[in-house]
Structure 1
Amino acid sequence: MKISVSWLKEWIDTIPEDLSDRLTMAGLEVEGIELAAPKFNGVVVGKVVELVQHPDADRLRVAQVDVGQDALVQIVCGAPNVEVGIKVPTALVGAVLPGDFKIKDAKLRGVASSGMLCSAKELGINEDASGLMILDEDLEVGADFRELLDLDDEIVEIDLTPNRGDCLSILGVARDLAAITGQAVDSVERPEIKVESALTKAITIEDSADCPKYLGRVIEGVNPAAESPLWMRERLRRSGIRPHGVLVDITNLVLLELGQPLHAFDFTKVEGDITVRRAKDGEKLKLINEDVVTLKSDTLVIADHQKVLAMAGIMGGEESACDDATTTIFLESAWFNPITIAGKARNYGLHTDSSHRFERGVDFELAEKAMDYATALIQKYAGGKAGEVSQALDVNLLPKREPVKVRFYKINQIIGQQFTKYDINTFVNRIGNVTEIHDDYLVVIPPSYRFDLQIEEDFIEEVARLNGYDNVPVSFEMVSQILMTKVPESKVTLADFKNILVGRGFHEVIEMSFISPAWQAILDPNKTAIALKNPISSDLSVMRTTLLPGVLGAMDHNLKRQQTRLRFFESGRTYNGTLENVVQELHIAGAICGTAAPLQWGVDARAADFFDLKGDVEALLKRTGRDDFRFVPSKREILHPGQSADIQLESGEVVGYLGKLHPSVIKALDLGRDVFVFELNYELLAQSETPKFKELSRFPVSKRDLALVVPPEVTTQMVIDVMKGQSKPRKYLTHVNLFDIYVPKTDKAETTSKNMAFSLTFQNREESLKDVDVDTIVEEILADLGVAGVSLRQ
């Protein structure tokens, strides 16, 4: 939420110089501070006095502008909305606009121009470049524009926790700041509204538990052509809201200032009286954002006798919305039960300022004051006659503010400080109404706007917060026993795998377990992901069945920011099954792209390939101490055939896979380059072989090299398996290593046989190995290879 400091000053006397630190240490985390507009100077309020067509340019006109000096200033302007009588920001010669743009005397198509009439975009105020920024008629000509609008005002952006809905307004932040600094905050004055209209609407609420309080007022004779004053538009802009017209602007202003959402219906489009009820299954509503939603029976709506008018507390409908012809409105101010509103906006893929507040709880005593405040603003800037306020009210169903007993010793015990009774009473009185003070405790009633204050511990936390979390003493007294967790030597920890990957140049990423259904369908098309009942957004609505969306999402983010060599990994759980029976597995996945090594003078730049990633994966597998892993061709749809493999145990169980992403996947994800990925099931790899000492042999090894011709359908793994002996291990054979491979080029479409060279190592640990024994084993190997179609190269 964005807070204007100048607006805040209207509610509290003194703003501390260390405002950012004060708010952050009080739990209202400040994410940033910026000025209301970029730095510029030399801009004043100018009034166009005369206007003639440029003699040599159809789109240019020559204006004589009064800038409060003795003589008029001539300025050539091409804005479509320039006309005689308007007041606009005028940059004089010597002015410096945002972007270090300096204004000088110039000639445009032969006509002298001594300044510039400015749009809001040229001053960095907003993105509107469609025409000049039109100012209010009552502004003084020649006044410094920056000072007039207080554009050195600081805008503080605050990140609020969900329990602090009371601070979603200027008034709320002012109240909290007053409590922190020991000041008083101005009270919300309720203006007197003269009733001049007899028009009204009766209100019916089907279930008062959903809406214990609903107020409505008709205002007739509103001027639809009225414009919001500049100060109002500026306050909205500084809060991150675009102006939309005087009626919407006023309701938005009240929402931002007081925290009470309001809504204005076009009175003539409401047929009959107002009913607050649950929607009927299948009812449709076209919202003001032009989305058409099919309503569910758990959604609270505002309706007339014929149709649904709005989703209560969320968004109004287009059919009853105010437009440029609206002269009579029905203004709504209500308190909706947070439980009824919570999650409903997200169910329809929506999030509005109103739902954001109603879900967290709005001050249930504020509706009447907000209604009158908005009415007074409407009458002031758009005219109109106000009618009586119609209301439906069930006091018994409004939130109860029960007295809370707060014990003095408990506060000092938990916080670890020795507060006096006076100190505690002072702090608690700033955020509640202390009704009784006893020797050992006091009784306090929480205010109507603080739904987070319900039990004694809540007020204890408030005492610590208002006194300053940085003032809480540090205690070194041990109050718990620390036990060392035993980690079996035979277990490979996740940290072991992470350290290996980091050592090989990978960076860890941590992503959410929720992913986009589109990415899920692309990266794991054969599994049905678990859909969330209440997703935080439509792009994060299913649980991941693979870690690749997170890793590749981080890669996509970096690739789009000119990062070319990337090596990422992530560890976390995947979720399969159903929402009622979730199967969770701990996985570790990674991806690489770009060059195999960082750019340097000693190594030629080479694009990373399948074997680079295979080396990384083999380093992880080696940490387990097992040697029964086999790489077999993978048939996964997301991987490129011929550059992919499944990783199996001798039992045939698949523990992971690796390979190059299929071109169709690269295109669908818009990655724009070759990417190689892997994913391993950590739980199947966590159990390792405990290292055992083996005495070094005193006898030499014997080596044999075999040059083989291998048919295209026979894989390297198949050849190695035959050499080692599929059913019975070869005696004395200790190691097999492929050290050369060559595939002859051919113009024919069919694949050809491969030439492969293997080095075989033999050793007898009991005595020196004889050549005849080695020759016998080699002959057995060649005979078994011959069965598979592999022959010795001549």
Structure 2
Amino acid sequence: MQFPESWLREFCNPPLTTAELAETLTMAGLEVEELRPVAPPFTKIVVGEIKEAVQHPDADRLRVCQVDVGQGALLNIVCGAPNARVGIKVPCALVGAELPPGDDGKPFLIKVGKLRGVESQGMLCSARELKLSEDHGGLLELDVSAPVGQDIRVHLNLDDTLFTLKLTPNLAHCLSVYGIAREVSALTGAPLQQPSFPPVQAKLEDKLPVTVSAPDLCGRFSGRIVRNVNTRAATPQWMLDRLARCGQRGVSPLVDISNYVMFELGRPSHIFDLDKIHGGLDVRWGKAGEQLKLLNGNTITVDDKVGVIADGQQVESLAGIMGGDATAVSDDTKNVYIEAAFWWPKAVAGRSRRFNFSTDAGHRFERGVDPSLTVEHIERITQLVIDICGTPETACGPMDDQQVNMPQPQPVTLRVARAAKVVGMPLTQAQCADALRGLGLPVVEGEGTLTVAPPSYRFDITIEEDLIEEVARMVGYNNLPTTPPLAPITPKLAAEATRSPFAVRRALAGLGYQETINFSFVEERWEHELAANAQPIKLLNPIASQMSVMRSTLLGSLLQVLKFNLDRKAERVRVFELGRVFLRDAGVRNTDTTVEGFHQPMRVSGLAYGPNDVLQWGRKEQAIDFFDVKGDVQALLAPLRATFEPGTHPAMHPGRCARVLLDGRAIGFVGELHPQWRQSWDLPQAPVMFELELDAVQQRAVPQFKPVAKHQAVERDVAVVVAERVTHTEVMDAIAAAVPGTMLRSAVLFDVYRPKPLRAGEVAPAGGLAAGEKSLAVRLTLGRDEATLTEAEIEAAMQAVVAQLVARTGGRLRV
């Protein structure tokens, strides 16, 4: 909301400087975002009248003007403006005047000079040269009544300040100069100049038939006919100046009048060309397929969720938002219909965004506009139309006011003790009552309570907290005491057997991964393909069409990051994300941290692509594989030891995917991207990914210290031939079951051997490996804390290991 300070002070003029006024508004919740002078500083520029303008003898585009600036003698000024002519009044910079700085930042000083041999004793100015606007088409023409010689700053009221307010949605009653003045009066005690709306005498009996078919759209519809207006009249300069200082350019007198009253009183209205209306008007909800060409030139298609004003043939206006082109006023308009209505905020809210534009009217109506003053505001508009566009034949008809569904504000009660507790300072009932009455709110006092019947312009007052906020604003936020918290503060310490999410991030960063942060809403296709989620959680109002559902896996977000980097020639990518996923779960109930029907766990996911190491001389380049990322997962979970078993995941390769288990509990998956999705994402090679439950990754065993072993351990190697289907986990489980107690300190697989395929006619060597077999070599480290192992104990342990391997895996000792 932008407005000039001078207009505000016409309604309420407190004894405050501009800075003090801005501070008062800000501390009352009406944040002053910017203070800006109307015009930059300049001096010795006055109103001048051109008395004579003749062609320059040596220049086709220059004129020699004789200018009266109220000094008796005329000034000889050379001017190149195309509109320099006899009789107009323009700003004239006298010798010694200092104009606003130009593009180089330096001020421009006016001196006596010669242009093509003719002396020039000043300069005639355009609006752009005075930094009043960007218009540089010619001299700034002033009103014919401007006093010659008057300082231009005084004549144009340039010693003014533009206020720009950043208002919250509940302050709809401040979306006008009068509304802000009402607040200033309450804050400072300065008197408020109440506007008057004398009725305009109706000289006609004409009424336009209007039907309000949708009371849930329009609660009140007022209007009147005005005939024989002159739409070619010029909008007064004072009105254009005020509109410009509110950020609104002049259009035509009727449109300017409607905009002026909107900024003055907060009342959006619309003026129809009466002769373009077919029959009467019908205020209703739209019908599917109906089209409307708006004043901005766009043609839209409406439906039954959008309110419209229609005549007997077509839709003429978008209710509460913008008028239609078909009934727009023009220079040929003679008869008009002035309309002011109350549109229910919920019937207007969000409609502009459906058509990708916004208007000042829609901005106000969706927040709430006073329904009680439609008639009075039409009287104000009518009088302005007659004053500006009136002719001897101009006459208006009677007011047509239909009140079909007016809002009924409910009384709201404020408990003084509750207000004191919420505000955090002692408050008396008298203080609260004075604050509310100062805002113009009717107050009925009870024992420790104040009951307010909200006026029609205060849509935001519906609950007790709304009144408490008003009291706090009037008392002054800067007057609230700084009170330390009184509640006991108990630190919430994490269990010793857990680590923080930050520690998880740091561990992954230490493994060479970089963190990414992605949206929780993703493409629906990702959910179908990567999570096999046939019914993803859909958003009611997505920020973009490709972000329409909530994710149930983090893998799609990481693949998108990978694709983004590959498209920019990245060769090696390591990324991870800690984020929330969203799953349907009927067992979840509403609590402070949960939403009924939805489970929202945290997960950690990573992706590796490209070489398994950065470019170096010490080792050959090798592409990342499943076992590299499996090792990263093991390092992330260490010192806890995870086990891995073959698994299936919709996003991963059927034969290169493992389920991750921790103490027998499945906590996630690790695997290579499925070939089908690799092809659809157009990836040169398959990335390897993992996704784990964050709460499981955060678990940590409390460290338990043990003395260093005093006796030397022994190492033995065992090689066993097993079928290809036998897994590493099965072999390790058999070894662990064979060695008693704590004798087995470690078992490490250090070699895997598979025979080469036989050529045609070749015979496998005796004692060798058959097709479908592999040899696994494991190094065992054996020891005991009490004493050194004997050869008998070592041999017994090795025999037990071989026996368990044969029994559990069906293998045989390799010789």
Same fold (TM over 0.5): yes
Distance 2:190 2:282 in 1: 43
SS in structure 1 opposite 2:300? strand
1:52 is matched with which residue: 55, 72, 77?
A: 55
Match of 1:347 in 2: 354
Residue 373 of structure 1, CA deviation: 1.7
Residue 516 of structure 1, CA deviation: 11
1:18 aligns with 2:23: no
1:103 aligns with 2:105: no
Distance 1:572 1:501 in 2: 14
Q: Would you say the 8 A contact 2:436–2:443 is kept in 1?
A: no
Match of 1:62 in 2: 63
Taking a change above 3 Å as real, the CA distance of residues 431 and 582 of structure 1, as seen in their structure-2 partners, is: same
Taking a change above 3 Å as real, the CA distance of residues 24 and 542 of structure 1, as seen in their structure-2 partners, is: farther
Distance 2:63 2:518 in 1: 58
Match of 1:465 in 2: 473
SS in structure 2 opposite 1:447? coil
1:325 aligns with 2:332: yes
Distance 2:473 2:331 in 1: 49
Which amino acid counterpart does residue 37 of structure 2 have in structure 1?
Answer: L
Match of 2:807 in 1: none
Taking a change above 3 Å as real, the CA distance of residues 575 and 149 of structure 1, as seen in their structure-2 partners, is: farther
SS in structure 2 opposite 1:72? strand
Distance 1:117 1:549 in 2: 66
SS in structure 1 opposite 2:332? coil
1:451 is matched with which residue: 459, 476, 479?
A: 459
1:135 is matched with which residue: 142, 152, 172?
A: 142
Deviations 1:713-752 (Å, cap 9, x if unpaired)? Answer: xxxxxxxx99x9686469967699xxxxxxxxxxxxxxxx
SS in structure 2 opposite 1:323? coil
Distance 1:50 1:636 in 2: 85
SS in structure 2 opposite 1:427? helix
Residue 324 of structure 1, CA deviation: 3.3
Aligned length: 690
Taking a change above 3 Å as real, the CA distance of residues 627 and 215 of structure 1, as seen in their structure-2 partners, is: same
Deviations 1:408-449 (Å, cap 9, x if unpaired)? Answer: 455445545444444333222112444644565454332221
Q: Would you say the 8 A contact 1:98–1:123 is kept in 2?
A: no
2:397 is matched with which residue: 388, 394, 406?
A: 388
1:188 aligns with 2:199: no
Q: Mark the runs of 5 or more structure 2 residues left unpaired by the alignment.
A: 562-573, 586-594, 609-622, 716-723, 736-745, 751-776, 790-815
Residue 115 of structure 1, CA deviation: 5.5
Distance 2:190 2:321 in 1: 35
Match of 1:776 in 2: none
Match of 2:763 in 1: none
Taking a change above 3 Å as real, the CA distance of residues 520 and 761 of structure 1, as seen in their structure-2 partners, is: closer
Q: Which moved more, 1:258-267 or 1:45-54?
A: 45-54
Q: Would you say the 8 A contact 2:714–2:782 is kept in 1?
A: no
Distance 1:264 1:441 in 2: 46
Match of 2:701 in 1: 690
SS in structure 1 opposite 2:366? helix
Q: Which moved more, 1:135-144 or 1:688-697?
A: 688-697
Match of 1:76 in 2: 80
Q: Would you say the 8 A contact 1:2–1:156 is kept in 2?
A: yes
The aligned runs of 1:98-497 (5 Å cut-off) are 98-99=102-103, 100-103=105-108, 117-197=124-204, 199-383=206-390, 385-394=394-403, 397-412=405-420, 414-434=422-442, 436-437=444-445, 440-476=448-484, 478-479=486-487, 485=492, 487-497=494-504
Residue 334 of structure 1, CA deviation: 0.7
Residue 18 of structure 1, CA deviation: 2.5
Which amino acid counterpart does residue 245 of structure 1 have in structure 2?
Answer: S
Which amino acid counterpart does residue 200 of structure 2 have in structure 1?
Answer: I
Q: Would you say the 8 A contact 2:258–2:269 is kept in 1?
A: yes
Deviations 1:492-524 (Å, cap 9, x if unpaired)? Answer: 433434667999999999898679999999x99
Residue 350 of structure 1, CA deviation: 3.3
Distance 2:308 2:459 in 1: 24
Residue 190 of structure 1, CA deviation: 0.6
Taking a change above 3 Å as real, the CA distance of residues 617 and 461 of structure 1, as seen in their structure-2 partners, is: farther
Q: Would you say the 8 A contact 1:25–1:469 is kept in 2?
A: yes
CA RMSD of aligned residues (A): 5.8
Q: Would you say the 8 A contact 2:583–2:599 is kept in 1?
A: yes
Q: Would you say the 8 A contact 1:66–1:141 is kept in 2?
A: no
Distance 1:97 1:265 in 2: 45
Q: Would you say the 8 A contact 1:575–1:582 is kept in 2?
A: yes
Identity %: 33
Distance 1:40 1:569 in 2: 60
Distance 1:176 1:86 in 2: 42
Taking a change above 3 Å as real, the CA distance of residues 117 and 203 of structure 1, as seen in their structure-2 partners, is: same
Which amino acid counterpart does residue 174 of structure 1 have in structure 2?
Answer: A
Residue 26 of structure 1, CA deviation: 1.8
Distance 1:549 1:172 in 2: 51
Match of 1:739 in 2: none
Distance 2:332 2:37 in 1: 37
Residue 459 of structure 1, CA deviation: 2.5
Distance 1:241 1:411 in 2: 41
Q: Would you say the 8 A contact 1:97–1:123 is kept in 2?
A: no
Match of 1:36 in 2: 38
Residue 46 of structure 1, CA deviation: 4.2
Residue 235 of structure 1, CA deviation: 2.4
Which amino acid counterpart does residue 175 of structure 1 have in structure 2?
Answer: R
Residue 251 of structure 1, CA deviation: 1.4
Taking a change above 3 Å as real, the CA distance of residues 550 and 628 of structure 1, as seen in their structure-2 partners, is: closer
Q: Which moved more, 1:227-236 or 1:206-215?
A: 227-236
Residue 276 of structure 1, CA deviation: 0.8
Which amino acid counterpart does residue 79 of structure 2 have in structure 1?
Answer: I
Residue 580 of structure 1, CA deviation: 12
Residue 568 of structure 1, CA deviation: 12
Q: Would you say the 8 A contact 1:349–1:538 is kept in 2?
A: no
Match of 1:6 in 2: 6
SS in structure 1 opposite 2:371? coil
SS in structure 2 opposite 1:10? helix
Which amino acid counterpart does residue 103 of structure 1 have in structure 2?
Answer: F
SS in structure 2 opposite 1:33? strand
Residue 333 of structure 1, CA deviation: 0.5
Q: Mark the runs of 5 or more structure 1 residues left unpaired by the alignment.
A: 555-566, 593-609, 638-644, 667-675, 703-720, 737-759, 770-794
Distance 2:681 2:49 in 1: 60
Taking a change above 3 Å as real, the CA distance of residues 392 and 512 of structure 1, as seen in their structure-2 partners, is: farther
Taking a change above 3 Å as real, the CA distance of residues 729 and 241 of structure 1, as seen in their structure-2 partners, is: farther
Distance 2:575 2:198 in 1: 61
Distance 2:525 2:127 in 1: 39
TM score, norm. by length of structure 2: 0.68
Which amino acid counterpart does residue 387 of structure 1 have in structure 2?
Answer: C
Residue 763 of structure 1, CA deviation: 8.8
Q: Would you say the 8 A contact 1:98–1:124 is kept in 2?
A: no
Taking a change above 3 Å as real, the CA distance of residues 197 and 697 of structure 1, as seen in their structure-2 partners, is: farther
Residue 540 of structure 1, CA deviation: 10
Q: Would you say the 8 A contact 1:67–1:73 is kept in 2?
A: no
Taking a change above 3 Å as real, the CA distance of residues 444 and 532 of structure 1, as seen in their structure-2 partners, is: same
Q: Would you say the 8 A contact 2:204–2:398 is kept in 1?
A: no
Larger Rg: 2
